[in-house]
A and B are shown apart, each in its own frame.
Chain A
Amino acid sequence: MKRILIGERGLWVYATFVAGCGLALTLSMPWTSTLSDLMSYPWRPFPLPFFLTYGFLSAWVALDRAAEAVPVGRPRVAFLAVAALRVGFTQLLALPLVAASRALFPDDWAAIPLAAAYVVAASLAFAAGAVVLEILAVRRGRHPAGLRYGLFFAWLGLPAILLAVAGPIRTLAQLSPAVAVASIVGGDVALPGVLVAFAAPALATVAFTVWCLVLSKGAST
């Protein structure tokens, strides 16, 4: 079980994930104990940094652990299952911290499960993408890390450019995981935006899974 969930050198990756999320949560927690502190340094609950850190580190762990799950010469369909298990393991580690973030939502808490569900969906998409890239790179004998993280940052950043555009096309900015998490946590996203946000990782996961199956079939024949 440990070998499947953690893999080679995985303990440090997961520990970094937990420590990073924990640090973000610690810094997001209110520190003022008296009103004089609050008057000098006005503060209000601001859960976004924690959720952005949590989303970013989840995606990073998903990319790293999914890629690591693809050894040479094994049946490739199982890689996806291992990658999905590792995404689940990552979210299990984040669960206590996400639950503790309830303290940062004085009013509506519906954003917590929604944001966490989105992070899971995006992590699965990144994991599936990492598996496909790893298979392709192994086939061509190249190291895929640069391409993997390049595409990751492109997906993260490019749709966000649409925030500068007015009109309905602006909704497509939700394709960026960073924008989607910010919108969900901020509670300023309508249903179409939520659907667009969730559709992107869902479609990407399906596409990468099918691609992986095709690659797997090609390899077996």
Chain B
Amino acid sequence: MRRHAIARQYLFALGVSVLLAAPCAASPQVSLSVGFDQQVVRNTFTPFEIEIAGLASPVDGTLKVRQSAGLPGERRAEIVHVIQSGTIENGTLRATLPLVEPLNPVTVELVAQDGRTVAVAEQSLRLGVRQWAYPLTVGRPTGIASAAVVGAEELPLDWWAYDAVREVWLVDPPFSEPALQALGEWTVSGGSLLIVSGSAYPRMDSPTLRRLLPLSAPQLEEAEDGTFFVGGAQRAEAETVLKRGVRPLLVQMPLGAGRVSLVTVALADLGPGELELIAERIPQAQRPPTTERVSAALLRSTRVPRPAYWLAPAVTGVTLASLVAFGLWGTRRRWTFGAFVGSLVALAAWSGFYGNSHKRFVREYSMITNVSVLSSFGINTAFSSFYAVEPRSVTMRHELGSFPAGGYVLGARGGTLSAESEAGQTRFALQAAERRDLLFHSRPAAESLRFRFDGTYAEIENRTGKTLANAYLAADDAILSLPAIQPGTQRLAVQTGLMLGEARSTYLSLRSILRPIEEWLPIAQRGVWLVTLEEWPEATDRDAPTLEREVWITILQGERT
């Protein structure tokens, strides 16, 4: 009996505990993981992973990440990114966001449609703050100093998420195709990718990986000592950097503005000191080119709509002339007064119409410079500059899935400098006479240009549907001006050209565009490239007095035949 009573008491206590704990277990929770292995660098695009758990049912609301610009203790400005709006369920969401100031805590909050905060979490990133880009190892630790280590499943799918990474070591497969695609795009943008293969190669082999390899027909070979190497014919631009005996140990190849390195053996098969030798020969990633200078120059050269200089002096002069004529001859001719009045009324009507048609006062100017680099993989990077004549609330529309960065540096002047980004648009406030720059990365649309060059003729397939008026071909340290490229396929003779050095100083548009791009991607030394430059007509809106200019620069790698 006594034992039964004790058991009943235990059961009662357990039941009460379960009942009390049940609401806690079901309470919605959000958690946040920022950066690779929690490592972050200020003012870089950074992967964010948000986990939502404990929702009893899907919530109609908004999931926001809040950051603040400005150092602690100083003036702050809030930067909000709306990660998802609508029906939100339990699960994991990933986004690549610009990390503004990691010394300030980052907050993620789930807010219901009625404004009620469903769940909120704040995270300090202080312990993971780094000053410079760092190496990233995918799979397991390699022994590389200060490397962040992540699993293959954690790799982000946006190429700009690797903004703070110095080099990526792919060690432990399998790697998903979208992740490899993003790594290939990042390499084209200036990244440094190292693939450690050897015996692990069969588990990592995929069509996308083959596009990344410096070998055209990779295959697994066994050396005399039983070590497995990845061998095969090297691509034209590939070079052997390190050897073990007669076999290449480290092969490198440029890819766009970046470089791919292949270690032909598995990590475990590397001999003493070989890892250090390899690490020394891996180039550091470079960030994609900022077209800030091009964008700023084009913005500054944008014309300001206004009436002609001569309007007021001309009207004054004609009025004075009429007055003097009337004053001198008004008494001699009867019709002079009628002519005088008629001329002034006609002049007033004309100047009124002229003033009416030239009265437009643009309050907001914007300049968007888009650069597309299309090699084995493609990237888009856009730099937008905004200038407001008077205080304005600006809405920048952009592609879904990416958020712009920049413009969050607090100046000495007043104002909020805050911004709110959501899918497809970013809103921020501009003060009078303030310029704001924003950087935006994305993927290019489907390829619509192809070309091959045999040294004399360029065969170009233009499926853009437009005539490309400004096109240049870069090959063998020379830049060749092409005639207008009509839609369709055509064969163009390319016989006269300028050395790049001359071109840089000859064509103003080329000079301003080639310089920053060449510092990043030496097109003259990396195969043949087609550079097209399109300026879209100024877009103006009478209801919202804005003036928008947009320039597209496409840099396409071609095939030499």
Contact = CB atoms under 8 A, between A and B. Distances in A.
B309 to A, nearest CB: 7
23 contacts: A2-B330, A2-B331, A6-B330, A11-B327, A14-B327, A22-B319, A26-B313, A28-B312, A29-B306, A31-B309, A32-B304, A35-B387, A39-B387, A39-B435, A44-B361, A44-B390, A96-B315, A96-B347, A97-B316, A97-B319, A102-B356, A103-B306, A103-B356
A19 B317 CA distance: 8
7 closest pairs, A vs B, by CB?
A22-B316, A102-B355, A2-B330, A99-B352, A106-B361, A103-B355, A100-B351
A8 interface: no
Nearest to B317: A22
Interface string A101-135: 11111100100000000000000000000000000
Contacts of A35: 299-304, 365, 387
Interface in B280-310: 299-304, 306-307, 309
Mostly, the B contact residues are: helix
Interface residues on B, range: 35 or more
Interface stretch (B85-93, B126-134, B337-345): B337-345
A15 interface: yes
Mostly, the A contact residues are: helix
Nearest to B318: A96
Contacts of A98: 348
Contact of B331 (A3, A14, A25): A3
Contacts of B365: 35
B361 A22 contact: no
B323 A18 contact: yes
Interface residues of A, number: 44
Nearest to B390: A44
Interface in A30-46: 30-39, 42, 44-45
Contacts of A158: none
B165 to A, nearest CB: 36
Nearest to A42: B433
A1 interface: yes
Contact of B348 (A18, A29, A37, A99): A99
B524 interface: no
A92 B327 contact: no
A181 B156 CA distance: 64
B433 to A, nearest CB: 4
A102 B348 CA distance: 11
A103 B351 CA distance: 9
B354 A100 contact: yes
B319 A96 contact: yes
A106 B330 contact: no
B315 A97 contact: yes
B316 A18 contact: yes
A212 interface: no
Given A92-B344, A93-B323, 4 more contacts: A1-B337, A19-B320, A44-B389, A104-B355
Interface string B516-553: 00000000000000000000000000000100000000
B547 to A, nearest CB: 9
A69 B124 CA distance: 85
A97 B337 CA distance: 20
Contacts of B347: 95-96
Given A6-B327, A11-B327, A99-B355, A30 B307 contact: yes
B323 A11 contact: yes
Contacts of B312: 22, 25-26, 28-29, 97, 100
Contacts of A38: 304, 389
Contacts of B330: 1-2, 6
A22 B352 CA distance: 15
A101 B355 contact: yes
Nearest to A102: B355
Given A36-B300, A103-B358, A95 B344 contact: yes
A49 B319 CA distance: 20
B311 A29 contact: yes
Contact of B313 (A22, A30, A101): A22
A23 to B, nearest CB: 8
Looking at A6, A29, A32, A104, which has the most chain B CB atoms within 10 Å of its CB? A29
Nearest to B320: A18
Contacts of A6: 327, 330
